[in-house]
Structure 1
């Protein structure tokens, strides 16, 4: 075997073990009995120890020095392995194991604190997570910006300064659109009660409509919707609220976008550095374009209205046009995952600023709730009534995902670019959506984005797909056109 072949075989086993680690996380969120939390933390710690040892194995360095790429795919794989090797080598094995153990425990403590509205119960373990993430960031940054070092894991090639500048450009136009729509008359909230089984039936129908491959995937319930896995084993979750079927429905469509990305990557890349989504921003571009530009369009909501009427009978919405307005209600709600398209990025900007301060040491866990509530009042004009509608609503910080949040907004920006390019190239998309047929759009996304996996850098991938450099302008133009039509001045 050549050096490249030996390295690829070793990497394949590492990738397989990483998938198993991800499956443990999925199980913890969906199936694991509550009493198993302590044992699961030990299991996660042990597996992370094995993974860290493999990722920093000295043989990788020797293989990299000798390996010669014969194709662009092999060259990209070598570059990604080298990056992972050098980054992981900076992290002490004990720190990696401690992070796995503490974040596994923290996840359960967050869920319990959220359910009990007990912020104080979560703070001790959040302090532990924060201390470990600061230590990890310092090890990775080697004197550079701590937050940028963490951000690199989720959106390679960007920086907090670049994202902050983008947010500064977006905020005035977003605020103006949101403020104008918020004062317009809105459809009344649904008063109907929607059964769990019927909601899950609709969620499965929607996932099927968007091309989810059930032979390689499944759908389950969780506290916080998420997608995990890749290739031949991809799993999504959703949640159900009896008075809000859109929570379940659009969470499912969103996670289906993530899942279809993973299911559509070239099978030749399976269990290799190219076998997953290239970045969380690109991943979010798929979930957000499925959920919003396609799933909340007037065409697709017409089909959904008929499906909901079949399942629930008369549920208080007169017709498809009223249903489209219902799906796109605008309001300054507390919950990020339930927010409308105009307010969503404002939720992300709040989290981005807070977590940068947390990592930099300008903000401590004990002061986080107060800082969150003050910022929410400033941005949204409302006082947060309880922790589950404030800083306890998201799972991310409990599991150490600092640097993840800004990729949601970046995904919206990429989705805006992709939507503009796709509609310029493909005709008949809305006619198909009106019949519940998404294949014209999803085939374009599969060809332009999804099949490439990790082959290209994130910005390069979006530019290749669109034919122009990514910018926030297409997203803002889309939002202005849509919500001006919905809520004319």
Structure 2
């Protein structure tokens, strides 16, 4: 390939990646240390950065350079992969070998650019400003338990997202929501997800009814307080065991735990601490640590290109849910961790390990998604998916959202919120304007079950390793099969290569039924 064409593309990607990192840092600060009075200025800063990013991404000169680089690749005999179907994702035929790093970076860049060039710069800036304003309004609405304080902002974000979707264009035979999905899970469509969620509900609802009817195990934490500093130190100990490099990342505290990767060598996690619930911080750290390991495992040699990014948000969620649930709620893991928990909190010294394990895996109908167990969790996501579809299809108005939420919780989980803060206002995603994001949590759960099953086959000593606190063999297996590939291939193709299976619920169902069958008292 003529180096001048690639050099132009590479320089453009390097600038775009740097701008992404700067915007990500401002977002992290916005959620951790930003003074309340600085919110308006932060919105202006993010708006300017995102506008500049959009301007550079859509510049005609970059488009010309991409075309020239793609033409040179074809001349060299490289396959011209135009999308996930050609690359073996979403039902396509797998290629013999992964694409070259240059081709993979070009494919990722073109995907992002083709969407961006259709969106006016004015709309990009408006979205950034409204996201910052909505975030402030959401926090105040939660504190006051007043959905009406947030509703106008959600109306505005919904209108802006509709405008964005219409600018990008609905795929043939698809619908508005498909365009939002595509931004998080490339190639995913409502026509595929709706039947999958219906299938999940078909066996999850009766499973929840059966498990929730069992006598609840004793709660070893009830009525006790647990020193937040000791909780904090335990989370850092677990992060270190997982192999998260604290020289290339950090953990802080926030209301809603999250992970942001500025670069594989600068990854920011947050967790939250509750004096009466020490496992909340622990599971948040395991979850965000899984995200963080993925970010740190991305191909650092390509850190200045679009190859150095997760294949999809669903695959990202698979990493967090794998560590949080398939590792963090497993019996072998607690053989190692329980003594350390008891050492920090002597009040737990007499807790029976089997009883503790049952308590950690208690299944109950709860109102809060982030605190729900792994059996009920996807029903929380199913509700949000249903509501988002209704809003995009125009069958659900924002003003009717609280009632629809409460009715849906009653129908799917048999519980009903009494306050907006524990219902429709509990998640931050809509304040960020992240419509289309929620389904990636369920996609991630399904991928996680398949990946863990494959890892168990490949690592016959895995249970023994977990029981001894040796977590690096699992991290290294995930790094080899998932992390290091970045965006070289679509997410489903990476999972298929690692497990022999694409997106399906069979592994997840088998995991839950085997685990909770064995946990019967």
Pick the aligned partner of 2:252 from 215, 220, 232: 220
* Unaligned residue ranges in structure 1 (runs of 5+): none
Aligned to 2:104: 76
Pick the aligned partner of 1:205 from 237, 241, 247: 237
Pick the aligned partner of 1:157 from 178, 183, 187: 187
Return closer, same or farther for 1:104/1:297 CA change in 2, 3 Å cut-off: same
Aligned to 2:58: 56
Further displaced range: 103-112 or 368-377: 103-112
Q: CA deviation at 1:176?
A: 2.0
Aligned to 1:417: 450
Contact residue 170 and residue 178 of structure 2 kept, 8 A: no
Aligned to 2:91: none
Deviations 1:305-343 (A, max 9, x none): 111111111238622212211111110001111111100
Contact residue 184 and residue 437 of structure 2 kept, 8 A: yes
Q: What is the aligned-residue RMSD (CA, Å)?
A: 1.4
Return closer, same or farther for 1:180/1:81 CA change in 2, 3 Å cut-off: same
Cα distance in 2, alignment partners of residues 363 and 55 from structure 1: 34
Cα distance in 2, alignment partners of residues 127 and 316 from structure 1: 51
Pick the aligned partner of 1:364 from 378, 397, 403: 397
Q: CA deviation at 1:279?
A: 0.2
| TM-score normalised over the length of structure 2 | 0.91
Cα distance in 2, alignment partners of residues 242 and 161 from structure 1: 44
Deviations 1:379-416 (A, max 9, x none): 11122011121111110011111111000000000011
1:146 paired to 2:176 = yes
1:117 paired to 2:150 = no
Cα distance in 2, alignment partners of residues 431 and 106 from structure 1: 47
Aligned to 1:251: 284
Aligned to 1:167: 197
Deviations 1:253-301 (A, max 9, x none): 0000001001011211212111111101100111111111111100112
Cα distance in 2, alignment partners of residues 202 and 111 from structure 1: 29
1:394 paired to 2:427 = yes
Aligned to 1:297: 330
Deviations 1:418-463 (A, max 9, x none): 1111111111111111122211211111111111111111111000
Contact residue 294 and residue 300 of structure 1 kept, 8 A: yes
Further displaced range: 338-347 or 436-445: 436-445
Cα distance in 1, alignment partners of residues 149 and 421 from structure 2: 13
Contact residue 258 and residue 270 of structure 2 kept, 8 A: yes
Further displaced range: 467-476 or 152-161: 467-476
Cα distance in 2, alignment partners of residues 7 and 46 from structure 1: 23
Contact residue 318 and residue 444 of structure 2 kept, 8 A: yes
Contact residue 300 and residue 434 of structure 1 kept, 8 A: yes
Secondary structure at 1:2 match in 2? helix
Secondary structure at 1:38 match in 2? helix
* Unaligned residue ranges in structure 2 (runs of 5+): 77-98
Aligned to 2:128: 100
Q: CA deviation at 1:116?
A: 2.3
Cα distance in 2, alignment partners of residues 65 and 440 from structure 1: 42
1:35 paired to 2:68 = no
Secondary structure at 1:396 match in 2? coil
Aligned to 2:165: 137
| TM-score normalised over the length of structure 1 | 0.97
Q: CA deviation at 1:130?
A: 1.2
Secondary structure at 2:478 match in 1? helix
Deviations 1:215-269 (A, max 9, x none): 0110111111100013111000011111111111101100000010010112112
Cα distance in 2, alignment partners of residues 131 and 376 from structure 1: 26
Contact residue 305 and residue 319 of structure 1 kept, 8 A: no
Aligned to 1:26: 28
1:242 paired to 2:269 = no
Further displaced range: 273-282 or 432-441: 432-441
Pick the aligned partner of 1:308 from 341, 347, 367: 341
1:326 paired to 2:359 = yes
Pick the aligned partner of 1:450 from 458, 478, 483: 483
Q: CA deviation at 1:142?
A: 4.4
1:433 paired to 2:466 = yes
Cα distance in 2, alignment partners of residues 49 and 271 from structure 1: 20
Count of residues in correspondence between the two structures:
488
